[in-house]
Chain A
Amino acid sequence: MARITAGIGCSHVPAIGVAMDTGITEQPYWQPVFKGFDFSRQWMKDNKPDVVFLVYNDHCTAFDASCIPTFALGCAETFAPADEGWGARPVPIVRNHQKLASHIAQSVILDEFDLTIMNEMEVDHGLTVPLSAMFGEIPQDGEWPCLVVPLAVNVVQYPAPTANRCFQLGRAIRRAIDSFPEDLNVQIWGTGGMSHQLQAERAGLINAEWDTTFLDMMAGDPDAARQISHLEFLRETGSEGIEMVMWLVMRGALDEKVTEVHRHYHVPASNTAVGHIILENHD
């Protein structure tokens, strides 16, 4: 049977991808950002997943303003890294586990979560930057070490789905994966965040104390995290901090009690607080 062995939270700041793609990760500005992923890259080798279920948001790349699905599940065979306005990232094409993706779509829709199904989709930095951060540099003609089932969540147009809705969807994804007959090691990743505001006069907002409390909740008190209101996200973590609802999908798919094996937090990467956590399931 397929099983979810771990959950990972990880920021997806585009500048992290640019730093890796241009080979400047050892510069003093970037060194502390990447140092926090040294443990993670070894841990990924020791705990290599067959499939990552990757929760991320599209930044007007696959979906412009003409179509804004709240939850869109990638069911295509492959997903090409997109040109976001300055050329596509030089990273490998992303390959799906299509049978698992189809199974999840069928299971969670019957579980009353009305997903959009994407049979063609390009993916942007929201998806590829966490892969790069966790796996390290992989040449464009190489292969990612695992298959990826993408779930795109709308966090661009307000309102994003609530933290609790995301958590409940995570539970439904857990039920779906638990009922898939193939023997697979699956990880679920929630990406985005942490506190950041990219727009208008309040741009640059960072709330490290709030972020730390949120990381604590991810590890030990998910019931508190899923009650965080949209107003609190917007006010306390900046208008783009609301991306953190995507971490709740990840957390909802894990056991109630998990083991935190790694945490990393650093300010800044460009305009953003970088947060990262690895949580292991017990079952």
Chain B
Amino acid sequence: MSGKDYDDIPGTFVFDADRSRQGYHLNQFCISLRKAENRDAMKADPEAHMARFPMSEEQCQAVRDRDWNRLLELGGNIYYTSKLAAFDGITFQDLAAMMTGVSREEYRDMMLHGGRPIAGNRSKSEWEEN
């Protein structure tokens, strides 16, 4: 999985065909929570509902841990993993705060002040300098 021009973008998982293949069952698990009957099943018995999807043990553990960046690293896509967050009652903005490692208030304040600036956030080399 080397040599992709977008691999240089810092703090970003580009959900390409390789990630889609890796994360297929994880994403299908997450999207199942769009439906009320599956949300009920997940509430009643999380392990049993997860077992309906042949995820890797790493993926299952990341679901149990609600390790949001790890889920992306293991092939999850944000539009899918956000359904797991919604199941927990977490808003998209609060999920974003968790993934960036700051508090809800800090993240909201950053957005109110124009968001994360592009300067210094274009390439991995810019992050490594800091």
Residues of A within 8 A of B (CB): 14-15, 59-61, 64-66, 68, 83-86, 156-159, 195, 197-210, 230-231, 234-236, 239-240, 267-268, 270-271, 273
Q: How far is B95's CA from A217's CA once the two chains are assembled, in angstroms? A: 33
**Given the complex, which residues of A lie within 8 Å of B12, measured CB to CB?**
197, 199-202, 234, 239
Secondary structure dominating the interface of B: helix
Q: Which of A199, A204, A234 has the most CB of B within 10 A?
A: A199
Q: List 21 A-B contacts (CB under 8 A).
A: A60-B77, A61-B34, A64-B27, A65-B24, A85-B87, A86-B86, A157-B15, A199-B12, A199-B96, A200-B100, A202-B121, A204-B100, A204-B110, A205-B115, A205-B121, A206-B117, A206-B118, A234-B9, A239-B9, A239-B13, A267-B111
Interface size for B (C-beta < 8 A) is 50
Nearest-Cβ distance from residue B47 to partner chain A, whole angstroms: 21
State which of A61, A198, A207 has its C-beta within 8 Å of the C-beta of B92. Answer: A198
Residues 49-69 of B contacting A (Cβ, < 8 Å): 69
Secondary structure dominating the interface of A: loop
**Given the complex, which residues of A lie within 8 Å of B122, measured CB to CB?**
235-236
- Are B92 and A235 in contact, with the CB atoms below 8 A? no
**Given the complex, which residues of A lie within 8 Å of B15, measured CB to CB?**
156-158, 239
B69 to chain A: closest residue by CB = A200
Residues 34-93 of B contacting A (Cβ, < 8 Å): 34-36, 39, 69, 72, 77-80, 82-83, 86-87, 92-93
A-B contacts counted at CB < 8 A amount to 145
- Are A207 and B99 in contact, with the CB atoms below 8 A? no
Nearest-Cβ distance from residue B107 to partner chain A, whole angstroms: 7
Residues of B within 8 A of A (CB): 5-6, 9-17, 20, 23-24, 27-28, 31, 33-36, 39, 69, 72, 77-80, 82-83, 86-87, 92-93, 96, 99-101, 107, 110-112, 114-118, 121-123
- Are B13 and A199 in contact, with the CB atoms below 8 A? yes
- Are A203 and B77 in contact, with the CB atoms below 8 A? no
Q: Give 5 closest A-B pairs by Cβ, nearest first.
A: A206-B115, A201-B11, A202-B11, A199-B78, A268-B111
Apart from A200-B11, A234-B6, 18 more pairs, CB < 8 Å: A59-B79, A60-B27, A60-B34, A60-B80, A83-B36, A197-B116, A199-B78, A202-B116, A204-B107, A206-B115, A206-B117, A231-B6, A235-B123, A267-B115, A268-B111, A268-B112, A271-B93, A271-B111
